[in-house]
Structure 1
Amino acid sequence: MLRSIPATLVVCLMPLVLVGCRDNASKADPRTQPPLVRVTKVISATEGSRAFSGVVVARVQSELGFRVSGKILERLVDSGQRVKRGQPLMRLDPVDLRLQAQAEQQSVAAAQARVRQTSADQARYRTLVATGAVSVSAYDQIRAAAATAQAELKAAQAQASVAGNASGYALLLADDDGVVMATLAEPGQVVSAGEAVIRLARAGQREASVQLPETLRPAVGSEAQATLYGAGGTPVSARLRQLADVADPMTRTYEARYVLEGALASAPLGATVTLSLTNKPTQSLLQVPLAAVYDAGKGPGVWDITGQPATVAWRPVSVIAISDEAATVAGQLNAGDRIVALGAHLLKQGERVRPDDAAVAGSQP
C-alpha cells in the first residue's frame, strides 16, 4: 500500500516548483530572438597619395598590313627590334602580282593597236565622206569607234598602273621609326589585304597607360609622380594628356594616358610603371571594415544600426579604395555611426538586431 504524502509537505514544495517554472520561462528561445551582430563604428578617412600600376606604351601604335592579298614569303624583323622609316618588314610571294601586271600591260598594247586601227579608219572615211563616196552616218560610226578605242586605252593604262603598284605592295615597309611590338603572321601564311601582320610602336615620348576608378577623374594637364618598377631611383613627373570619356565595360574603369618625362621618356615599352596621384576629394571619405560592405547586385552599401530597439537600415556607398582589411567609402554615413561589421548578407531592411556592443570599443577597420 502506498503511503499518503502529508499535505504539509506538498504545500512546502509548491513554491520551489513555481520558481523553477519562472526560470525556464525567462530563458527565451534563441531561434526567436533578433540576430546578434558584430558592431563597428565608422571612422573618418583622409585621401592622400594614391598609387596605380600601369604599363609603358607608345603614344601612337599601329597595326600594319599588306595592301594586297597573298602568301607571306619572308619575315624580315623580329619582335622588339627597332626599325627605321622605309625598312622592309615582310615580303609576299610576288609571282602572281607580277603576272597580273604583265597581263595588264598586254591589255594596254591591245588597246593601243585598236586606237591605231580606228584612227586610220577615221582618216580614210574623212576623205571618202568629203567626196561623197560614203555617207555621213557611216563616217560618224567610224569616228565613234575611234573615240571608244581612245577611252579603252586610257582605262587599260589605269589598270596597268594599279597592277604595277600592286606588285610593289608585295614588300611591306615601315612607315615611321619605331619598335616592332609583335609579329602577327608568319611565312607560309596566306593573308588578305588589310589584315594586320605587324604591330609597330612609333618612336617618340613614352606614355603610361593606367586604369582609374570612376570616382577619380583628375584634370587634363595635372601632374603625377611616376616610378619604373624594379628600377628604383627618384620619381619623375608625368603629365596627364588624355582621360577616356567612356568606361571599360568589364572593369568600369577609365584609361588615362600620362606623358612620361625625364629619365622615363625613353622607358622600355611594356614595362610596369607606378603612378602616384594626389587627390583632393570633393566629398567626405569614411573608412569601414571590408567585410561590412555588401553588394546584392544593386550597388555596394552597409547596414546602419539605428533606433531602440535596434534595427538595420541600408545605406548605399561608393567604394573609393580598398586595402587588405578596410574600404574607403563615401555615402550617406557619418563618422561615429554604428554599422554591422560581419554577416551583412544575412540581414534585410528594417530587421531587428541585437548589437554586440562589447565589440564596438575594440573594433577598428
Structure 2
Amino acid sequence: MRLSYGKFLCVCLTGLCLAGCSEEEKTAAAAPRQARVMVVTPHKLATVAQGAGRIQSRYVSEVGFEVGGRIISREVDIGAIVKKGQKLAEISAVDYRNKVTAAEADLTAAKATLVQVVAQEERFRILLGKGFTTHSQYDEALKSLQSAQAAVKADEANLRIAQNQLGYTQLLAPDDGIVTATGADPGQVVAAGQMVVEISRNDAREAVFAVAGEDIAGAELGMAVNVSIQGRPDIVVTGTIRAISPEADSTTGTYQVKVALASPPPEMRLGAVVVGRVESAGGQEVTTLPPTALLQSGDEPQVWVIGGDGKVQRRNVQLLQFDTDSVVVSHGLSAGEKVVTAGVNSLADGELVNPETEVE
C-alpha cells in the first residue's frame, strides 16, 4: 500500500507534536514546586493560668461584746463605713450599773474599817512601847490593819472591774473599715465574745482565688499575678502571691491562694470579682507551627521537612498542644529545619520544592 506525500507529511508532523508535548511534560514535572515554609525556632514553653476570684480584706475582725447581755441597739448594717472608736452596738447596762454601785459601797465600807484599824494599831503600838500591853495584843491589831488594807485594795480592783464591764456594754469599732457581716440583732441575748459585727479593713485589700489541684503545683510564694476587674481588662494591677493554703477545701477540692495588692484602684472594692492571670516560662523547649503544617494522613502527626537537597520528606512529630490558631510540637524537629506550612496534602515524598517565603 502506498502513501501519498501529503499523508506522510501529516503523520510526521503529528509525531513531532507528540514528541514535543512529551518533552514539555517531563520538563514541567521536573520543575520544583513553590512551597511556603517556616524555619524551626525552638522556644521555652510559656505556661498561662487564669482564674476568677474576689477582693477581700487581709485583716478581718469579728467584733463582739466582752460581756454578755441583751442587745438594745445596733448602729450599723452591712456596707457601713466605720471609724475607729465609733459605737457599733449596745447591750442593756442595768445589771452592770448595779455592780458598780455595789462595788463602790463595798469600797466605802472597807475604807471605813481601815480608818478604825489604823487608829487601833497606833494605840496598841504606843501602849506596847510603855509596857501597858502585850506583844500578842499588838500583833492582833497589826493583823487587823493589814487585813483592812488588803480589803481596800481588793474592793478597789472589784470596782475597776465593774466599771470596765459597764464600759463593755457599748461595742466600739477597733479600726477603720467596712462592715461586711452582722451576727446579732437588737433584742437578741448574746454571750461574751459572740460575733455581732464583722469589720474588714479597707487599707489592706487582696485578691483571693480558688485554684484547682492540678494547677497549684505551679504556684509559688512571691510569684507575680496580673489582677484585673472582670469585664474591665483595662483596670489591672500586678500583685504577688503571699499565701497558699496547705490543704484543699473539703467541699470543692481547690486550694486558696491569696495575692497581695500594693496599690489597688478604687474600682477594686471589697467583694469585687477579679480575674488573675499568671504567665511563666517552663524549662521545656517547643516549636510552634500553624495548624496547616500538619498532614491529614497517617496514624501519627506528621509534617513535611525540606532536606538539604531541597526535597520534602515526612517526619513524625509529638504534639503538646493543639488549637485552631497553632500547634505546639515537643519532639521531632530540630532548630533551623524548614517545615512546609501550606499545601501539605498535595506534596509527595521526595518531591523537589522551592521555598517561597521563610517565616521565623
What is the distance in 2 between the residues matched to 1:282 and 1:212?
A: 22
Instruction: Provide TM-score, normalisation by structure 2.
Output: 0.62
| Matched residue, 1:363 | none
After superposition, give the CA deviation of every residue in 1:61-112 in whole Å (9 maximum; x if it has no partner): 1101111111111101111011111111111111111111111111111110
1-structure distance, mates of 2:79, 2:154: 45
For residues 202-223 of structure 1, the C-alpha deviation after alignment (integer angstroms, 9 at most, x for no partner) is 1213211012233434222221
Residue 272, structure 1, aligned to residue 273, structure 2:
yes
Q: In the alignment, what sits opposite 2:51?
A: 52
Tell me the equivalent position of 1:203: 202
Partner of 1:61: 60
Give 1:180's aligned residue.
179
Mapped contact 2:202–2:270 kept (Cα < 8 A): no
| Fraction of identical pairs, as percent | 33
Q: Which residue of 2 aligns with 1:37?
A: none
Superposed displacement of residue 283, structure 1: 8.0
Contact 1:210 1:256 in 2 (8 A): yes
Alignment-mate amino acid for residue 154 of structure 1? K
In the superposition, the TM-score normalised over structure 1's length comes to 0.62
Structure-2 residue corresponding to 1:141 = 140
CA distance in 1 between counterparts of 2:267 and 2:151 reads 56
Whole-angstrom distance in 2 between the partners of 1:141 and 1:282: 89
Paired with 1:63 and 1:271, the residues of 2 have a C-alpha distance of 21
Aligned to 1:166: 165
Once residues 245 and 191 of structure 1 are traced to their aligned partners in structure 2, the CA distance between those partners, rounded to angstroms, is 34
Q: What is the rounded CA distance, in whole Å, between the counterparts of 2:161 and 2:192 in structure 1? A: 15
Gaps of 5+ in 2: 1-44, 287-320, 322-329, 332-360
Q: Structure 1: any 5+ residue segments left out of the alignment?
A: 1-45, 286-325, 327-334, 337-365
**Could you tell me how far apart the structure 2 residues matched to 1:136 and 1:262 are?**
77
One-letter amino acid of the counterpart of residue 81, structure 1: A
1:244-255 aligned at under 5 Å gives the runs: 244-255=245-256
Amino acid at match of 2:272: A
Q: CA deviation at 1:233?
A: 2.6
Report the secondary structure of 2:138's partner residue. Answer: helix
Shift of 1:146: 0.7
Q: CA RMSD for the aligned pairs? A: 2.7
Aligned-partner SS, 1:154: helix
Q: Distance in 2 between matches of 1:266 and 1:61?
A: 20
* Aligned counterpart, 1:154: 153
Q: 1:234 to 1:197 in 2, by over 3 A?
A: closer
For 1:98, the equivalent position in structure 2 comes to: 97
Q: Secondary structure at the match of 1:196?
A: coil
Contact 1:49–1:279 (CA under 8 A) maintained in structure 2: yes
**Aligned with 1:144: secondary structure?**
helix
Pairwise mapping of residues 272-351 of structure 1 onto structure 2 (< 5 A)? 272-280=273-281
Return the alpha-carbon distance in structure 1 between the equivalents of residues 264 and 129 of structure 2: 87
Q: Which residue of 1 aligns with 2:130?
A: 131
Partner SS state of residue 96, structure 1: helix
Read off the aligned partner of 1:247 and give its amino acid letter: A
Q: Answer whether contact 1:206 1:264 (CA < 8 A) is retained.
A: no
Is this contact kept in 2: 1:69–1:193, CA < 8 A?
yes
Alpha carbons of structure 1 residues 106 and 283: separation in structure 2 relative to 1, 3 Å: farther
The structure-2 alpha-carbon separation of the partners of 1:282 and 1:211, relative to structure 1 and needing over 3 Å to count, comes to farther
Q: CA deviation at 1:126?
A: 1.7
1:140 shift after superposition: 0.5
**Corresponding residue for 2:192?**
193
Counterparts of 1:166 and 1:132, CA distance in 2? 51
Report what 2:112 is aligned to.
113
Corresponding residue for 2:236? 235
Q: Partner of 1:220 in structure 2?
A: 221
- How many residue pairs get matched? 245
Q: Deviation per CA, 1:311-355, whole angstroms, max 9, x where unpaired?
A: xxxxxxxxxxxxxxx9xxxxxxxx99xxxxxxxxxxxxxxxxxxx
Contact 2:229 2:235 in 1 (8 A): no
- Asked if the contact 2:179/2:200 (under 8 Å) is kept, the reply is yes
- Alpha-carbon distance in 1 for matches of 2:267, 2:136: 77
* Alignment CA distance shift 1:276-1:138 (3 Å): same
1:265 Cα shift? 5.8
Structure 1 residue 135: Cα displacement: 1.6
In 2 relative to 1, CA 49–154 (structure 1 residues): closer, same or farther, beyond 3 Å? same
Query: Taking structure 1 as reference, are residues 234 and 137 closer, same or farther at Cα in structure 2, changes over 3 Å only?
Result: closer
Match of 1:301 in 2: none
